[in-house]
Amino acid sequence: MLGATLLNASWLYYKEYEDWGISYKSFSSYEEIPKLLTEVLHNTYKSVNNRDILQNKMSWQQCRDAWACLLK
């Protein structure tokens, strides 16, 4: 099963990620990104559940429906 890996800059904190149970890799500088990508490509970091969570919470359809409800 494929996962979805989320890389998040440490200076951008999103409480929703933790509330939703999303696992993510945080980086403090852009120089860290190549190492993180290498980990992801070599499957040393597992993020299997993220794809379902992201699709459920942040998909285009979900966002469109939320905005439609808000604008009613």
Q: How far is CA 28 from CA 19, 51, 53, in A?
A: 22, 24, 24
Phi-psi category of residue 21: left, alpha or beta, with phi > 0 → left and psi -120 to 50 → alpha: left
In a domain, 1, yes or no: no
How many domains does the structure of the chain reveal?
1
In a domain, 28, yes or no: yes
Q: 10 Å Cβ neighbour count for 48? A: 11
What pLDDT does 1 receive? 44
Question: What tens digit of pLDDT does each residue of 25-43 get?
Answer: 899 999 999 998 888 777 6
Question: What tens digit of pLDDT does each residue of 40-57 get?
Answer: 777 655 666 777 788 788
In a domain, 24, yes or no: yes
In a domain, 17, yes or no: yes
**Domain range holding 44?**
6-71
In a domain, 43, yes or no: yes
